[in-house]
Structure 1
Amino acid sequence: MTIDTVIRRANLGDGRGPLDIAIAGTRIADIAPGIRCEAAEIDLGGRLALPGLVDTHVHLDKACLDDRCPCGGSLQEAVKSVSEAKKRFTEEDVYARAARALEMAIAHGTNRMRTHVEVDPRVGLTSLRALHRLKRDYAWAIDLQLCVFPQEGLLDDPGCDEVLVSALDLGADLVGGAPYIDDDSHGQIARIFDLAVERDLDVDLHLDFSLDAASLDVDEVCRQAERRGWGGRTAIGHVTKLSALPPERLDAYARRLAGAGVAVTVLPATDLFLMGRDATENVPRGVAPAHRLAREGVRCSAATNNLRNPFTPYGDGSLVRMANLFANVAQLAGEEDLAACLDLVTGSAARLMGLADYGIAVGGPATFVAFDAKDRADVVAGIVQPEIGFKDGRQSFHRPPARLNRPEAPHKD
């Protein structure tokens, strides 16, 4: 076996001290201290190496719309504003904006991503075609899953079901929905599961996106997942209603979700921006407590959701920043809790997406990123951005650290 590159002095965070990583082609050939061979070398100098950041829920097709859509309104206003903008989308426009957002994420260490793609009678398959191209063109840096879904309702949007089926025919990795938009939310959930089972696709739904916790569609999703045998293949995003539950009811839902094998993704930036807008004081955070769900065995992640559009008018694609934001919202501190926050955008997120090859191990993909941090908690506490990344044995990005230009010391006569 020919070794192409040796990564020197990587800290894998497992207490073994700095180790070398030998890369042959696209795979890791060996991990050991002081590997001897004639190959190109890159010295990490003891930096923390992780398999990479995993964004489980993002909308690349409507990223970077803040220059053409009004921002700062409610969820309903955001949906309406983007609905109008979608009528003028072209493949070239979607591709350019999505590429801008994707490159931000890559430069911040994300190398696996699930993007939700809107398909409906207004935009048709335009965005999906653009993102198929993007998935192919950026495979050198990131693995992209495409989840097609109707943002503006399915049953109550004439012609949308036909477009969704056409999107699945064109090719998608998952199918999703936004049941709270339709009057018959349970009907939409059943239809999405019908399509998933028929085509053997995982499900990822936008769900329970408000603070009125009188009733939740979580129950119906869990019931459908159990009835269809889709436990471990179903995820729900937002679920902001969970933030409005008293402890005993939240714990009951956590056990229900864990038992049904339904995963949860929280979207801190969007949920903070959109929830609680009618409150004049004691404004609720509106972010589902993923840390408490995870303690009951629910597979959880934190993700970006939107970048620079009416749903979230800011963002830079950094999942480390998102993990830190969640830690702030959940009021978490200490090494164990902060490391768990990083897990929401690394290991736990990878499990949610079913990534069997996630990890740094001999025989596995030579895909990882390196941080100038002592451990996982330090990454979150310091919002430390990765400095270098590799995808399948090839360096995919480099973010040199900032340097201070100190004045020269005055000369003494």
Structure 2
Amino acid sequence: MDLVIRRAQLVTEPHGKLQDIGIEDGRIVAIAPHLDTAAEAFDAGGRLACGGLIETHIHLDKARLLEVCPAETTRQISPVHYVAGFKPQITEEDVYRRAEITLREAIAHGTTRMRTHVEVDPGIGMRGFDGVRALVAQYRWAIDLQLCVFPQEGLINYPGTDALLVEALRRGADVIGAAPRYDTDHPGQIRRIFELAREFDVDIDMHLDVGNTPEDMDIHLVCDLTEQYRLGGRVTVGHMTKLSLLPPDRVAAIARRLADVGVNVAVLPATDLYLMGRERDHDVRRGVADANFLVEHGVNCSISSNNVLNPATPYGDCSLIRMANLQANVLQIARPEQLRECFAMVTERSARILNLRDYGIAVGNPADVVIIDGTSPEQAVSEIRHPLAVFKRGRRTVTRPAARLHDPA
């Protein structure tokens, strides 16, 4: 063996039952209470060990845009249309620089796999795509990066966008996305995206059903097409803020349909808290979908960052554990099993969204391991416990020393 992570608390083991994790040639080759080997060792000291954290929905190409276009000042804002005016100024080099800083922050917070959305349209061309794609090979030592291309400002109503989506898919984009809210023909965009997914055999990841009223939801068509195209497990919808405006019985009915056809949901609490309810000056709605409720009704969900330091979300540190804590706060989650589900939504459940077959601490899997400064998933979420060490394919990529108090006594 090349490396042994000793005395690790695994998510799957009872509290206090510690395990050693043996690693060779970048893969986990043994898990046992004690591995008798002279290999290099890292002592987890009884701390929580899990598979690498997974970011399922972020926009690296639009991260840190506050440097270019400052936050809007009015109560009513439209970040998509606002940013559109700055697109001609954005260069491939600028996208690369801002995306790289953000990617490094995510890596430092324990993320080892990521799906980033990248928009293409005649306003930005392929500059955003090329700027982010350059990071895929450069940072493979620390993170596996998927690119999801999508039409942010419309598809049917924005001539030239379709051809750019096709070009990106031909150049290796991993996933096709959508944002029908900004199209004059919601069904037309959705149907075209499903056609492209079938043509290029890629997964689908849409921005869906964002709004201050629950009418005219597109999720029903998405479910129908998922069933028609037999894409169960390969379709994800992000945001879904309109679910927060419906009574539990109606959400439960939609959840059962999502579960039956295999549509995942990515909940994005930071952005949705910032953007929803802005038409009100008091008693402001939260606008965040209840991922725990959806999971209880059979839906696979993730919790993700979406935007970082841009007009749609003017803050963020790329910490998925902090994002899970935010979701728990907003939805008033407190029971240990619920907090454990929130943790699963940045680990195992996120892996299912990315259709990973080799995720987690198990013999034969890549040795992507995060050591968290806590002893349970519940503690990690409730106390925002940070990763102290990260390993990617058995190679240490991150070191974060634990805090020390220098007591003068």
Distance 1:126 1:68 in 2: 16
- Greater Cα offset, 225-234 or 184-193: 225-234
1:377-388 → structure 2 map (5 Å cutoff)? 377-388=378-389
Amino acid at match of 2:28: I
TM-score relative to the length of structure 2: 0.97
2:241 counterpart of 1:243: no
Maintained 8 Å contact 2:23/2:394: yes
1:338 maps to 2:339: yes
Q: Aligned residues, how many?
A: 406
- Distance in 2 separating the partners of 1:93 and 1:67: 10
In the alignment, what sits opposite 2:302? 301
Match of 2:33 in 1: 33
Contact 2:206–2:237 (Cα < 8 Å) also in 1: yes
Match of 1:115, SS? strand
Structure 2's unaligned 5+ residue stretches are none
> Matched residues in 1 for 2:220 and 2:337: separation?
31
Aligned equivalents of 2:272 and 2:242: distance in 1? Answer: 11
SS in 1 for 2:378: helix
Displacement of 1:33 in angstroms is 2.1
CA distance in 2: counterparts of 1:39 and 1:103, whole angstroms? 29
How far residue 29 of structure 1 moved from its aligned partner, in angstroms, is 1.5
Please give the residue correspondences for 1:41-56 in structure 2 after superposition, counting only pairs within 5 Å. Answer: 41-56=41-56
Say whether residues 1:209 and 2:210 are aligned partners: yes
Measure, in 2, the Cα distance between the counterparts of 1:17 and 1:330: 32
- TM-superposed CA distance for 1:406, in Å, is 2.9
Partner residue, 2:165: 164
Greater alpha carbon shift after TM alignment, 139-148 vs 396-405: 396-405
Name the amino acid aligned to 1:389.
V
Paired residue secondary structure (2:216): coil
Q: Is the 8 A contact 2:373 2:402 kept in 1?
A: no
SS at match of 1:49: strand
| Contact 1:75–1:311 (CA under 8 A) maintained in structure 2 | no
Q: Please list the CA deviations of residues 262-309 of structure 1 after superposition, one character each: whole Å capped at 9, or x if unmatched.
A: 111110000000000011221100001111111111111110000000
What corresponds to 1:146 in structure 2? 147
CA distance in 2, matches of 1:173, 1:74: 37
Q: Deviations over 1:35-70 (max 9, x none)?
A: 122221111111110002111100000101112212
Task: Identify the residue that residue 190 of structure 2 maps to in structure 1.
Answer: 189
Per-residue deviation, 1:165: 1.2
Cα distance in 2 for residues equivalent to 1:305 and 1:116? 9
**71-80 vs 86-95, which moves further:** 71-80
Secondary structure of the equivalent of 1:66?
helix
**Deviation for aligned residue 1:86:** 2.0
In the other structure, the counterpart of 1:176 is 177
Contact 1:89 1:123 in 2 (8 A): yes
* Mapped contact 1:54–1:110 kept (Cα < 8 A): yes
User: Given that residues 49 and 369 in structure 1 are in contact (C-alpha distance below 8 angstroms), is that contact kept between their aligned partners in structure 2?
Assistant: yes
Q: Provide the C-alpha distance between the structure 1 equivalents of 2:251 and 2:36, rounded to a whole number of angstroms.
A: 54
1:264 is aligned to 265
Counterpart contact for 1:5–1:23, Cα < 8 Å: yes
Q: Say whether the 8 Å CA contact 1:264–1:298 is kept in structure 2.
A: yes
Is the deviation greater in 78-87 or in 97-106? 78-87
Q: Percent identity between the aligned chains?
A: 52
Judged with a 3 Å threshold, the aligned counterparts in structure 2 of structure 1 residues 101 and 75 are, in CA distance, closer, same or farther, namely farther
* One of 8, 11, 24 as aligned partner of 2:9: 11
TM-score w.r.t. the length of structure 1 is: 0.96
* Partner SS, residue 312 of structure 2: coil
- State how 1:228-377 maps to structure 2 within 5 Å: 228-377=229-378
Aligned to 1:101, the other structure's residue is in SS state helix
SS in structure 1 opposite 2:89? coil
